Structure 1
Amino acid sequence: MTLPSPNKVDELFSEWDKPGSPGFALAIIKDGKTVYKRGYGMADLEHNIKISPNSVFDIASTSKQFTAMCIALLARKGELSLDDEIQIYISEIPRYEYPITVRHLIHHTSGIRDYLTLMELAGMRCENEYPENEIIGLIARQKELNFKPGDEHLYSNSGYFLLAEIVKRVSGESLAVFADQHIFSPLGMKTTHFHDDFTRIVKNRAIGYSVRDEGSFRIDMSIFDVVGDGGIYTTVEDLCIWDENFYQNKLGGYGQNLIEEIITPGRLNSGEGIDYAFGLVIGHYRGLETISHSGGWMGYRSQMLRFPKQRFSVICLSNLGSAKPPELARKVADIYLVDDFTEQSIESVSRQTQIREIPSVDLESKTGFYQNLKTGTVWELLVKDGKLIVEFAGMSFTLAPVSSSHFVIMDIPSNPDVEFEESGLDEPSHLYVCVDGKRRDVFQRLDFAPPDSEQLMDFTGEYYCQELDVTYRISIEDGELLLNRKNSLRETLKPINKDLLKGMDITLQFFRDGLHQVTGFNMSAGYGSVRNIQFVK
């Protein structure tokens, strides 16, 4: 393989490669050798310290593969079984109608509600004032699961938080100590650690930043000591060592058999395969198999992208909360694997040429509200500047038409298809989000029939949730419904129909008694990571 000029790579990061800007650390690996590594931008704006390959970053959810490896090592030693019910190790978790196993936690198929979303809903800030036992207590108070374990794959940080607790209870060591003894030290990853003490001094740390409204930067750092679902501090240099271990495993004396296990995706109860293995996403990019994971927490973003058959990897870490390492890592791969991508690249261009204009009346007929039948999530579709737009949780995506009933979301890397089901009427009854030709999500069109100003009074009052141990208050101000909750800004609630209200990323489905009086609501939040949690008036 003839290596391309580094200048092409540097151009991708030139926007951040300057004084006064946070930036990136990058490493590119081919056939076991680091062929390019460097830093772009500043690790510390206060002290004018540049980012280098040995700058230390919080890699957030990219940490999950290390937590999963700890579990795999314990299983290999016979100290636990992946098919054990989790209550064997964490007795505080109630037994639900169906068993939850360690394997369910690994593959995000447990149905357990996401603890970070639960904390936000409960008004618990992600600060160092809640020890692990309080978070376990919060999870244990949940009376229901999002779904029957094994029926769905839904990313949940609770699973990896609980895996960390299982490591602690089985081994007698914290996750940080166990991982250091069994992974980091044996591999020579001298800088890497689970950062379970926010007061710890970290040499060469890149400070995390986010953008201020005026375009300057603010420090954006975590003081949260909880690890497992995240929490690793590391460098691109150490991650190069970790990457090589996937080809020549040195851990536990288990050889490549251990690696084969951790890169094997899970399966649902139906037998359908999912794309998630042991903290690793098994996918494809432009026709080539990939193994990857990304992460984002506070002012840090990360991506490890591996092409196993080409033995090529890109490691991209950033100390800027708005950065997009996954996108940049793919662009680096485009440069280095251009010969491998030639055929697929033509297909990608072809995808763009499928887009065409359709009459505005066809766009207008798609507007309205659509609710995900599983998660409760509500999308609003509207036409702006002649384009069909999806708005949800403060984000917007453009639906580019291929035909009057077939659209593509071009501003998401996987380019999912959106198909509208014609109902024989002027307006569609459902839309389907499709990935790789498979229908992943079903949204039902909602009749928009908001209550009048007098009927809005039905919703006002205080509502208590036992599972969160918190009270919400709904009030009316200037004709709008406002949700007031602990440690959160007031949020406007938009009425969709008689008993359904929509917030930024929450949906409230109200229920009534025999006299048609509102008695409470079920709330879904966090992109469906918490479903149907009950509040009583």
Structure 2
Amino acid sequence: MFELRYSSVGKLSTMQTAILALALALAAPAQDPHEAKVDALFASWNEKTPGVAVALSRGGKLLHVGCYGLADVEKGGSITKTTRFYAASVSKQFVAACAVMLEAEGKLKWSDSLQTHLTEFTAVGGGISIGDLVHHRSGLRDYFELGRFAKLDFDRDQSADDVVALLAKQRDLNFAPGSDYLYCNSGYFLLGVIIGRLTKSSLREYATKALFEPHGMKNSVFKDSSDHDVPQAAVGHQRRGKRYVPHRTRFAMVGSGGLFISVMDLLRWLESMQAKGASDSFVRRMLTAPKLDGSQRRSPRTGDYAAGLRVGRYRGVRVVQHAGSSFGFRAHSAFFPDQGLCVALLGNAANIDASRLAMATAAVFLGDRLQPPAKAPAGKQPIDAPALLVDDDSGDLARLAPQRDRMRLVTLSWQIDLVSNKGDKLRSIGTALPVAGEVLRAANGSVSGLKLQVANENARRFTALPPFTMPARTWKDYEGQYHSVELDRTIQVRRRKAALAFDGVAHQPLTRDLMFTIRGGLLEFERDDADRITGVRVSTRRARRMLFTRRRP
């Protein structure tokens, strides 16, 4: 060990300085090249910005911990290993874990009806099972999107009872329970309510005692009260021009989110599942997605949804992961079962691409175990203008549009990128499940539709919609007031140039009574036997066919 001693005059000579520099260079350990690569990924987050905490381990051995940026740009304070971030949807795996433990205790079954545990769901609860809630196959409308139409302000005080009542008032589902997949925050919110009722406590109390304390997770808590100030909590941020603005919220719903957690606690949790392995009954339940027949659908982009976790592949290797984003926070958790690698990443700015950064960080340590990133081949794409399509089975709208080197297919539920293998034959890039497709053409060569094959499911067929122009005299037929009993909301519909404005959003006509917005909304007007408009069904990404009945003047 070298000890620095200054001369009585307080200065080192040139020779002494040179000797000191050489000594320090020899004494300092060489930086791990992995560390330098990881630090470079987070170089844009510093003492003037919000930031990120990231931690990795392999086989229980800590590989890297990095803390970059500020917990709060207004009040200061650097991000540390114990800073608690809002985990958003990364919370769902902990809610699912609580349900798995209650199943092991005999307090619930995956096959239990929602109505068994929440008797207020008289209209739609009978056919929905606990397993449907866990695997996003319930068909429930998403409470965030319902809340937007019902004018609930989740940044301010809203009670869990308000959300339960809103969901219980719904008279229709997005689809029949178990028949399809659609990511849904309502299912996990209701799981949290059920856990609280079964344990005669709350999700926060049960998770603390059954999960966090046994795993030594001292910096983890579900915030279920607006008045609960979480210690050592970071603040989320939104980017406004060149500066970051704190997003301070009183949101306190738990189940779909609600967890505040430190990066080391999240890593510790991932390590516990990795260490137990798939032979452990708890882990096996957590990683098991429902078996599907060919008629049931999965998300091609994200793969199979198990219990609060997505099971898929990343560049050829198996990965179990989940992302989260809300209120200016971003999060990603992942572990690679075959390589023993765990990655935890938490950030407090809305423009942090947590999933990309987490996978890029993992790639530093996985190295040549990964396949090269998929690239789009050079060459002309099969279409040169956007095509609007309708799913022949579900009636869902889709848009196929050319990008620079690929085509993007966007539906209400998901979007994927497709490239041409040869001519009209397509394949996906960057998806968890393999997707093959084919552009279908009419005799004159125009696009007539799209055939899509996701993994081993039955093929999906989409039919192209022909161009449509609304006759000028018919616009007035749609204008007026429309009321929803389910949402207790009346909305004025007005013409806005060549579109209809519904709740302030312009929808363009596709057919006589079908209108859409590029932001992912759909209006389907209904008529009586006299051809008079009686109402409109409103669909968004996660809330389908909400009925608004027309009010007569």
Task: Report Cα offsets for 1:318-372 as digits up to 9, x if no partner.
Answer: 111121111111111221111312xx22xx45x54x34225xxx523x5332234
Aligned pairs for 1:169-188 within 5 A: 169-188=197-216
1:285 to 285, 306, 314: 314
Conservation of the 8 A alpha-carbon contact between 1:248 and 1:256 = no
Structure 2: distance between partners of 1:298 and 1:85:
32
Asked if residue 120 in structure 1 is aligned to residue 144 in structure 2, the reply is no
The equivalent of 2:23 in structure 1 is: none
The equivalent of 1:506 in structure 2 is: 521
Structure 2: distance between partners of 1:385 and 1:243:
38
Asked if residue 518 in structure 1 is aligned to residue 533 in structure 2, the reply is yes
Conservation of the 8 A alpha-carbon contact between 2:73 and 2:246 = no
2:360 to 307, 331, 336: 331
Matched to 1:185, the amino acid is E
SS of the residue aligned with 2:138?
Answer: coil
Task: Report Cα offsets for 1:369-405 as digits up to 9, x if no partner.
Answer: 2234566553444567797566789x99875444332
> What TM-score, normalized to structure 1?
0.88
The equivalent of 2:448 in structure 1 is: 429
The equivalent of 2:8 in structure 1 is: none
The equivalent of 1:363 in structure 2 is: 383
Asked if residue 239 in structure 1 is aligned to residue 266 in structure 2, the reply is yes
Q: Which deviates the most, 432-441 or 507-516?
A: 432-441
Q: Shift of residue 37 of structure 1?
A: 0.3
Conservation of the 8 A alpha-carbon contact between 1:377 and 1:505 = no
Give the number of the structure whose alpha-carbon radius of gyration is greater.
Answer: 2
The equivalent of 1:54 in structure 2 is: 82
Aligned pairs for 1:133-532 within 5 A: 133-212=161-240, 214-248=241-275, 256-268=280-292, 275-341=304-370, 344-345=371-372, 348=373, 351-352=375-376, 354-358=377-381, 362-364=382-384, 367-373=386-392, 377-381=396-400, 400-407=419-426, 418-436=437-455, 442-478=461-497, 480-484=499-503, 490-503=504-517, 504-525=519-540, 527=541, 529-532=542-545
C-alpha change, 1:434 and 1:23, in structure 2 (3 Å) is farther
Q: Shift of residue 69 of structure 1?
A: 0.9
Q: CA RMSD in A?
A: 3.0
Q: Which deviates the most, 60-69 or 115-124?
A: 115-124
Conservation of the 8 A alpha-carbon contact between 2:247 and 2:328 = yes
C-alpha change, 1:397 and 1:202, in structure 2 (3 Å) is same
C-alpha change, 1:431 and 1:339, in structure 2 (3 Å) is same
> What TM-score, normalized to structure 2?
0.85
SS of the residue aligned with 2:145?
Answer: helix
C-alpha change, 1:108 and 1:29, in structure 2 (3 Å) is same
Consecutive unaligned residues in structure 2, runs of 5 or more: 1-30, 299-303
Alignment: residue pair count: 513
C-alpha change, 1:444 and 1:322, in structure 2 (3 Å) is farther
2:66 to 21, 38, 50: 38
Task: Report Cα offsets for 1:195-214 as digits up to 9, x if no partner.
Answer: 112332223222100111x2
Conservation of the 8 A alpha-carbon contact between 1:377 and 1:506 = no
Conservation of the 8 A alpha-carbon contact between 2:399 and 2:410 = yes
C-alpha change, 1:373 and 1:43, in structure 2 (3 Å) is farther
Structure 1: distance between partners of 2:51 and 2:434:
27
Conservation of the 8 A alpha-carbon contact between 2:166 and 2:486 = yes
1:11 to 36, 40, 56: 40
C-alpha change, 1:95 and 1:241, in structure 2 (3 Å) is same
Q: Shift of residue 227 of structure 1?
A: 0.3
Structure 2: distance between partners of 1:72 and 1:387:
41
Structure 2: distance between partners of 1:262 and 1:387:
35
SS of the residue aligned with 1:43?
Answer: coil
C-alpha change, 1:125 and 1:234, in structure 2 (3 Å) is same
